Amino acid sequence: MSPAVGARTAGDPYLPGSGNGGYSTESYTLDLRYRMLTNRLDATATIEAVSTQQLTRFSFDFNRLQAGRVLVDGRRAKSVLSPGKLTITPATPIDSGAAFTVVIEYSGSPAPRRSAWGLVGWEELEDGVIVASQPSGAPSWFPCNDHPSDKARYSIRVTTEQAYTVLCNGVLTGHSVSSGRASWQFEQQQPTASYLATVQIGRYTTTPIELGGVPGTLAYPKEIEARVEADCGQLPGMMACFEEAFGPYPFDGYTVVTTPDDLEIPLEAQGMAIFGANHIDGEGGEERLMAHELAHQWFGNSVGLDAWQHIWLNEGFACYAEWLWSEHSGKESADSLARAARTKLKGLPADILVGDPGSADMFDDRIYKRGALTLHAVRLTIGDSAFFSLVKEWTDAHRHSTATTDDFRALAAGYDESLDGVFEAWLFSLPLPTLPTVSSPASSASPAKSLVKAKSRRR
C-alpha cells in the first residue's frame, strides 16, 4: 500500500471488509431528515478526524445509500462509491497528524445490511424504525469508520413526522415541532463505537425511572405500559448491584426501549437497551436478559473491544452479570448457575477457542457461557475481595476506551500469577476444564454472597 493512501480496511480478520486505515475519528455530527411513509432519508454527516499518515485519499464504510456533495476542510472533494465503501480524494493531501473535517451529503432508502449473522443496521418495524448494528450495520445509515476500536463523540439530530418519538444515544438537548414534523437533538459526549450508535423511532410513550443517581427512561407502546413497568421494576436494584460490583455507571443515563414488534434477541446500544414486546411479559420472564443488557454498558460499551477476536470480554462479563444478579437477588447462586452451565457445555462440542473463536462463531452461546465460566474460575481462584477489586480496576483502567484479552490477563496477573493457567485452560484450550472447588465461605465486601476466602493481592 502506498504510504499516502489510507487503507480500505481496519485489518480485522473477523470482518475484513469493515473499518478503514489512515485516520481515527473524533466526532460524528449527523443531521437526519426521515420520512416514515416512504422510508426516505436525506442526511448530512460532518465527521471530524485526525490522520495517522499522510493521505491522498481515504475511505468510509457506506452501504446502499447515495453520496452527493463531499467537502474536505471546506473544499470540494472527489468521491467514488463502491460496494460497502465511499472513497474520498481531497483537493490536496492531508498531512500526517493533521485534524480534518469531512462533510458528506447523502440520501436514499436505508435498509439493513446482510451479514453472516443476519440482517444488521437500519430496519423498518411495522410502524417505526429500529437500528441494531452489531457488528457491521452502522454503514446502513451513515458513513463511518466501522470498527469497534475507533470510538468517537456523536451529535445526532433526527427530523421526522410529529406523531413519532425518537430516541438516540446520549442526552436529549432539544425538541421542536414545525409543520407537522418534529426534530430531536441528542448529544453523546462519551466515546462510542459505530456499531453502538443508534436511532429508534416509534409511537412510544416515555416515562422517567430513577436508577439511583442515574437518570433512566422507559420507552414503550402505551398498550403494554403495565408489563413494562412491572418488568423494569428490577432495574434500580440491578443498577445498584452492578455499580457496587463493577464501579460507577459510565454514561449520562440509561434508556430501555420496548418495540411493538417481537425481536429475536434484545440489543445493546451505548446508554440504551432495546427489547421486543415478546421479551416483556409483566412477570419478569426475561429478567436475566434485563441484567445482561445493563451489564453491557460497562462491558462492551465503556470498556470496548480493540478487535472482534476479544468478544468474550463483552459477552462473558454480561453473562456472568446475569449470575451475579441472581445471586444478589436471593435466587440461585452464581456458583450453582456456573456449574449447571458447565454441565450443559459438557454435552456440546468442544471445538471453539473462546479467546479466538473465529468470525463464524463469535456470537455462539458457548462463547457467552464459557466466557462467564472463565470469570467464575478466576473468582474461585482469588476470592471475592480480590475478584471484585480486579473487575473494578478493569472498568476504571479502560473506561471509555478499548482493550484486549492480553490486557485483562496482564491486569489479573497482578492479583495472582497462577491465573495465567486459568486463562490458558478456559480461553485457549479446547477441552472443558473443571471449575475449582468452593472453600469455606468468608465475609465478603462484594455485592454477592462470598464463595471463597480472598487471597492476598500480589504485584
Q: What is the C-alpha to C-alpha distance for residues 271 and 239, in angstroms, rounded to an integer?
A: 13
Beta bridge mates, 135: none
Phi, psi values for residue 372, rounded to 5°? -65, -40
304: nearest Cα among 197, 446, 421, 171? 197
315 a known binding residue? yes
279 is in an annotated binding site: no
CA angle 274, 277, 281 (to 5 degrees): 115
Find where cell 418495540 sits: 259
Is residue 229 a known part of a binding site?
no
Rounded Cα–Cα distance for residues 359 and 182 (Å):
41
Residue 194's alpha-carbon distances to 25, 138, 246, in angstroms, are 10, 6, 24
Q: What is the rounded CA–CA span in Å between residue 277 and residue 260?
A: 5
Question: What are the beta bridge partners of residue 79?
Answer: 88
Which is the catalytic residue, given 293, 320, 322, 415?
Answer: 293
Catalytic residue among 154, 320, 368, 415: 368
State the CB neighbour count (10 A cutoff) for residue 117: 14
Residue 34 pairs in a beta bridge with 41
| Separation of alpha carbons 184 and 159, rounded Å | 6
Q: How far apart are the first and last CA of the chain?
A: 43
CA–CA distance from 420 to each of 310, 313, 344, 378, 406 (Å)? 16, 16, 25, 10, 10
Give me the sheet containing 85-89, strands edge to edge. Answer: 58-61, 85-89, 78-82
Active site residue 48: no
Does residue 243 have an active-site annotation? no
SS3 label, residue 152: strand
Distances (CA, A) of 101 to 23, 24, 32, 98: 12, 12, 18, 10
Q: What is the DSSP letter of 434?
A: P
Give the DSSP per-residue string, 104-141: EEEEE---PEEETTEEEEEEEETTEEEEE-TTT-GGGT
Residue numbers belonging to the annotated binding site for Zn(2+): 292, 296, 315
Active site residues: 293, 368
